[in-house]
Structure 1
């Protein structure tokens, strides 16, 4: 079948969805429906993989299905249509690469489709996989022909209204109907005005409600609030939020105990009221009522919150004092009050001075010993005093595991020492202090300390990945020395090579540090400092792999006998034949020993 023409401005909906036979639109029981069901209605085209139920049922549909039901319950002319994403070889490869291939449902796609649509709301309709033309056309029109999922809204006349359906429903809820640009601009207008001229009343009151609530149900008038006032955008399902909330509670309680004016308003992004109640019960501050979802959504919109946790601090006139208060409080806690930029700058200078003093007196004990503990542990949980360590090199594992079971399992694979998992103080663990002190941005991170406890290298991971044991003691000076030796050696090597696995010339080049920026296209391992690169297509081969290939070529040349004139002529004939075959097989691509369709 020829691909559907999707270049037209309007989709021929009836002919696409009702071509006849087993290709007609069906309900959730797989029974054909009539074209009357889409007459005069906006169609919500939801594209998704029926063979990947965990993605659709557990992650995507819960984010907007209730909103669709609310719109339909209001009597709005909307018909949802599910369009199955075909399972292609490229998708299988992508899922295998991300270790998610096990989530693919086995069996024929038609069976997966029939099983999945039964789980959809009864109002929904679906395009059978057999209607290839409609599947292709609707995926292309909704701009999901190169993606797995998407939601578009199409007008009754076949005009595509928007291809950003999920984002619109999440942002505006049922108010987003009929999804047109003009309607969304109308919705946005009051928020744009509120953002331009904010007031606490306009931000926190809505539709006659002039109060906030405590977790015991007590109502507190918005008019009684005295700045600074922090809007805490957070959610129970968010791990980083649950990690930050105890720090914020400590900061809040400290300021209250000092009698300083300060209030926090929880702006929930929880998925249901039960999760909200459970999370809010841990908080000593105020909240918008969970039932007032529009007020919550409005604040997310006004402050353009793209992720949680987020903490925006306002003064009594609703002017922003601090937009990134999560970072500020994580770094300085209540000492940053009243959280102005000037106070943050002052605290930054104080903290840097403290760090400089710490670095001057830094030792293994100052970094790892606490008032309660002057030891690390081995695999038998025996205490090992830090001063007892006389080895030339030792590693101490500092865990970021979520629980002790995960810690024990991971640490069980390591031959070195560790901080006890029990080292969990209420506020700031040794791990947290070290992360801040060494400015750790992510894991794994390896910091190398000298015998005196002073820092030799904060990028020990790079040093070991690049040089291995040869880099000992992994100080920056040793790194520079070894890098120079490698660079000198590379200058003496053959600068360009060709190998059978690639048609272009490869040139010896220094790759950006650190290791891991490039991957060898022969062995799939990280390229180590130097590589032979193709300037035309970015093909990279590690020096060690090139050495193996050159040795192999040399051995083959030594073993192969000379070629006679007759054989040479035969070779030329074969090459002519292959060239002719390549011309005949237009649309194919030959890659090494394999040819496949382009």
Structure 2
């Protein structure tokens, strides 16, 4: 078997995710720098490229300073030449914003000592209704206490709460009062030392790029995205996990392990999001232990996605990591973690009923990438090593290849039709049969109509097939169409037929299984889409089209592309649905 990685030939730096991200999340800059009239009614929100006078906005004739917690004063001269973040936080929605932005705190701790970065907290609202006591154990007798509670968690500067006039002026100029984003999270603007707005919605930029995004210009973000693309083009464990300051990972004792020692191994990147991920962690520990016993070249690297904005969170990470037998990226290297999230998509949860966190499998020398490792590990266990869809497909085939229609019904079983007539199972043995499972969810009406039309079209021809529709008997009359085929009630969980059904699908799922005249499975899918006239039975010529469609031909070849991911036809499927499609392909190949 050869599993290879490929990248789109036409993918250039400008095709990277930054183009999509900026278009979607960041407003286009105005043509030419535009200074806004202060106090003018009906001002539009500031956009990238607009200019502001920070000196006039942040200071007054009576106040030439900002404050840090405990009333430490920061003079306006200390902000000269710095990139400034205006960080608006609602006091009215204080119960949503008491926890500070961990990404911004991490960025601040890394950039502020270098002298070119500052954050200014601007409290929004008078705080009179700053906290709903029904939703929090904290209560405040004054708006000032509400402000102090929030400010105490922030390491940066603020406009004094007492300067209500300056705070209100900033709210109006930046259209914060009408900004619905503030109801869910703080709103941040990034402004350079000349007063040019670099970002008008910086929260997601901070989350995606961290301190590596400094000074947070579009050009800098595009540069990072191009670096991500080059990383994938020259894929290896080292290019993925190294940083300018680090070429190693660590053990749970703090020892350093050079990255080059992992190059010839299968490496699982474990994106860890919650210390309560007991199921996947326990399964991964078991697999790690067993594979080490077998001397398999396998390693796991923990990617910590927990907040490390405080020493307490750092301690929590080490308490968690100490119970794990594998390696990890140093917990404070958040920029590397964010890079990996950008490359492998920020969605950290695999679809399906089992996985909690993402498990990305990297082959030796970067020969393959498998993004669905968590689902495969949880569904198939150690036998699926190296936890790729190819190995899972082989297990899936072994699991279902012996399933026959006779395992569901004996020859005397009786089926009913919608018109009340009855058919014995012995009468359809030897025909091509589709078993259509429909338990809790409706099948799309358009799909049902196409299948009915195909059924009627093929009736009486050499290509005819029979359909057995598994559905609750009470709903037989509520299908929404005249059903010409056979109906049967669902199997009980404890029955032999119910156990066979669960070998094919999770309990309660809709699904389709097609058997040829010899009773072999030739199609199994949860994606009930009727296309070609040969659906769901394939000949060799038509099967080649199916191989191409799901990205498989001969030896299995697939890739995770950083900017052009799975084919659209496959992208919407869950991993198990992809396995079902591939299983029918592999069944034909065998």
TM-score, normalization by structure 1: 0.52
RMSD, matched Cα? 4.6
Change in CA separation of 1:84 and 1:23 when aligned onto 2, cut-off 3 Å: farther
Structure of higher RCO (CA pairs closer than 8 Å, 6+ residues apart): 2
Alpha-carbon distance, 1:46 to partner: 0.8
1:117 has 2:151 as partner? yes
| Partner residue in 1 for 2:484 | none
Partner residue of 1:512?
A: none
Q: Is the 8 A contact 2:85 2:120 kept in 1?
A: yes
Name the SS for the 1:215 alignment partner: coil
- Deviations along 1:479-537, one digit per CA (max 9) or x if unpaired, are 344799xxxxxxxxxxxxxxxxxxxxxxxxxxxxxxxxxxxxxxxxxxxxxxxxxxxxx
2:371 corresponds, among 316, 323, 326, to 323
Q: Deviation of residue 245 (structure 1)? A: 0.7
CA distance in 2, matches of 1:101, 1:124: 26
Report deviation, 1:249. 1.5
Unaligned runs of 5+ residues in structure 1 are: 362-455, 462-474, 485-598
Write 1 or 2 for the structure with the bigger share of helix.
Answer: 1
Distance in 2 between the 1:112 and 1:209 partners?
Answer: 42
Instruction: Identify if the C-alpha distance between structure 1 residues 269 and 156 changes in structure 2 by more than 3 Å, giving closer, same or farther.
Output: same
Residues 478-489 of structure 1 aligned to structure 2 (within 5 Å): 478-481=474-477
Other-structure match for 1:79: 118
TM superposition shift of 1:231: 3.0
Distance (Å, rounded) in 1 between the aligned partners of 2:193 and 2:477: 71
> Which residue is 1:508 aligned to?
none
Measure the CA separation in 1 of the matches of 2:376 and 2:98.
38
CA contact (8 A) 1:136 1:145 kept: no
The answer on 1:67 being equivalent to 2:107 is yes
Change (3 A) 1:113 1:480: same
Indicate how the Cα distance of structure 1 residues 10 and 243 shifts in structure 2: closer, same or farther if over 3 A, else same: same
Partner in structure 2 of residue 277 of structure 1: 318
2:521 aligns with none
> Is the Cα–Cα contact under 8 Å of residues 5 and 137 in structure 1 kept in the other structure?
yes
The answer to whether the 8 A contact 1:230-1:265 is kept is yes
Between 1:286-295 and 1:188-197, the stretch displaced more is 286-295
Q: CA deviation at 1:47?
A: 1.3
The verdict on how the C-alpha distance between 1:209 and 1:110 changes in structure 2, with shifts beyond 3 A counting, is closer
* Offset at residue 478 of structure 1 (A): 1.2
Asked if 1 retains the 8 angstrom alpha-carbon contact of 2:83 and 2:118, the reply is: yes
Aligned twin of 2:393:
345
**Contact 2:120–2:158, Cα closer than 8 Å, also in 1:** yes
Measure, in 2, the Cα distance between the counterparts of 1:483 and 1:51.
51
Q: 1:214 aligns with which of 231, 242, 251?
A: 251
Is 1:459 paired with 2:455? Answer: no
1:82/1:126 contact within 8 Å kept: no
* Residues 6, 141 of structure 1: 8 Å contact kept: no
Look up the match of 1:133.
169
- Are residues 184 and 21 of structure 1, via their aligned partners in 2, closer, same or farther at CA, if it must alter by over 3 Å? same
What is the alpha-carbon distance in structure 1 between the residues aligned to residue 153 and residue 304 of structure 2?
Answer: 29
May I ask how many residue pairs the two structures share in their alignment?
Answer: 374
Spell out, residue by residue over 1:111-167, the C-alpha distance to the aligned partner (whole angstroms, 9 max, x if none): 533554355336444574444232122344996666442222122343221134333
> 1:198/1:85 Cα in 2 relative to 1: closer, same or farther (>3 Å)?
same
Do 1:4 and 1:136's aligned partners in 2 also have CA atoms closer than 8 Å? no
Q: Please say if residues 48 and 56 of structure 1, whose CA atoms lie closer than 8 Å, have aligned partners that are also in contact.
A: yes
- Are residue 46 (structure 1) and residue 81 (structure 2) matched? no
SS in 1 for 2:221: helix
When Rg is computed on C-alpha atoms for both structures, the one with the higher figure is 1
The Cα shift of 1:359 comes to: 8.3
Structure 2 runs not aligned, ≥5 long: 1-38, 350-356, 410-436, 443-470, 481-590
User: How far did residue 331 of structure 1 move?
Assistant: 0.8
How far did residue 21 of structure 1 move? 6.7
TM-score by length of 2: 0.52
Structure 1 residue 185: Cα displacement: 2.6
1:74-473 to 2 correspondence within 5 Å? 74-76=114-116, 78-86=117-125, 109=143, 112-113=146-147, 116-121=150-155, 123-126=157-160, 128-130=163-165, 131-140=167-176, 147-148=183-184, 149-207=186-244, 210-217=247-254, 219-225=256-262, 227=264, 229-235=266-272, 237-239=274-276, 241-270=277-306, 271=308, 272-290=313-331, 292-307=333-348, 309-352=357-400, 360=408, 458-459=439-440
Alpha-carbon distance change, 360 to 267 in structure 1, aligned in 2, over 3 angstroms: same
Alpha-carbon distance in 1 for matches of 2:338, 2:151: 31
Does structure 2 retain, via aligned residues, the 8 Å contact 1:49–1:87?
A: no
